[in-house]
Amino acid sequence: MISSPAVTDQLYHALRDIIRHARTQAYRSVNHAMVEAYWNIGRLIVEEEQAGKSRAGYGTHLLEDLALRLTGEFGRGFSVVNLKNFRQFYLVFPKGYCEGDIPEDEIGYTVCSGLSWSHYRLLMRVENPLARRHYMRDAIGQNWSVRTLERQIDSLSYERLLKSQDRKIEKPAVLKKRSEGPQSPDEFIRDPYVLEFLHIPSSASYLEHELEQALIDKLRDFLMELGKGFSFVGRQYRISTETSEFYIDLVFYHYILKCFVLIDLKAGKLTHQDIGQMDMYVRLFEDRVKPEGDNPTIGIILCTEKDETVVRYSVLNDSRQLFASRYTLYLPSEQELVAEIEREREIMRRLDRDRAG
């Protein structure tokens, strides 16, 4: 009996899935074996260099000789530059391997399965061990590609999160705690946000609805920039009262914080009217949408510029649910991002001193 085309297609797709899964598993196995081999090569080189450290120039001659002999037998991939990378790999991650997640008492020093050699070459560039652990955790947990990891490192996403966590001085955590760790909005909200993937020239003039459409068109990239835990709910989300209707630009749900996150987009400088509008949106959402048992709704205003005076003398200064974050339409240099982070920290320190005085 000849199978119907529908059954044939079903069988074909099932076989295709099996083959794809097997190839993926084979790639992961080979990748893990090669990463482990590179780590062990680096370990032996370091141990040999330490044994011969009394001989001047020993390390340089050792690498040159090894590169010549290994390339002759195994081909490309064992140049002096690569051998130096293997050595650095071991020096950055000297404690060997773990399966699964990074142990809590490790600060990025343990090599874990699931990341490729290209991932680890990027991670070796990160000097701060806490930042390295942060990127490793997210790269493994969220299955980041090499390109995504590079973008997160280059945009200093860890440092931007740290700067946002400085807000704890002003805004005590109000959300419920879980055994896994704190659930404060400050752990997840960045400042500034980097939206270079929209490809909008920083000198261009644009309207807020154009910015909104661009973010929707690049929703996957925007979710990556927002960070872990965000899921998209809707755009121009309508909230109705007895006499009026209001539309929120973007609404997300944060499955870790267990709360809704409202985002209002501004194509210019933050104003007190923007803050009042978001405050009203959050209050309406709390009253008419938020289900019982959820944590308080969070409102984020994304703007191109924040005025310190507006922040200081508005509900933003004391609210535990409202945040204003800057966004930039280009990927700043590391120096520019560091300068921005320090500028914002100084503003928050000054506000704290003013309140204390």
- Structural domains present in the chain: 1-92 (no CATH), 93-154 (no CATH), 167-356 (3.40.1350.10)
What CA–CA distance (Å, rounded) separates 192 from 174?
23
Query: Terminal CA-to-CA distance of the chain, rounded, Å?
Result: 89
Name residues whose C-beta falls within 8 Å of residue 226's C-beta, 6 or more positions apart in sequence.
Answer: 190, 193, 252
**Which DSSP symbol is given to 57?**
T
Q: Which amino acid is at 272?
A: H
The DSSP output letter for 295 is: P
Each residue of 282-331: pLDDT tens digit?
Answer: 999 999 999 999 999 999 999 988 877 777 777 777 777 888 888 888 87
| Cα–Cα distance for residue pair 166/89, rounded to 1 Å | 32
| Residue % of the chain over a pLDDT of 90 | 31
Average pLDDT over residues 264-272: 90
Whether 341 and 156 have beta carbons less than 8 Å apart is answered as yes
- CA-based nearest residue to 93, from 66, 115, 75, 65: 115
Per-residue model confidence (pLDDT) at position 283:
93
Contact status, residue 206 vs residue 244, Cβ threshold 8 Å = no
Contact (Cβ atoms closer than 8 angstroms) between residue 279 and residue 242: no
Please give the average per-residue pLDDT across 146-166, as a whole number: 83
- pLDDT computed for residue 202 by the predictor: 77
Would you tell me the crossing angle of helices 146-154 and 157-165 to the nearest 10 degrees? Answer: 50
pLDDT at 107 over 70: no
pLDDT value of position 177: 38
pTM of the model: 0.71
Which long-range contacts (C-beta less than 8 Å, at least 24 apart) are formed by 98-101?
Answer: 101/137, 101/140, 101/141
Task: Collect all residues with Cβ–Cβ distance below 8 Å to 206 and sequence separation of at least 6.
Answer: 200, 267
Rounded mean pLDDT, 109-124: 83
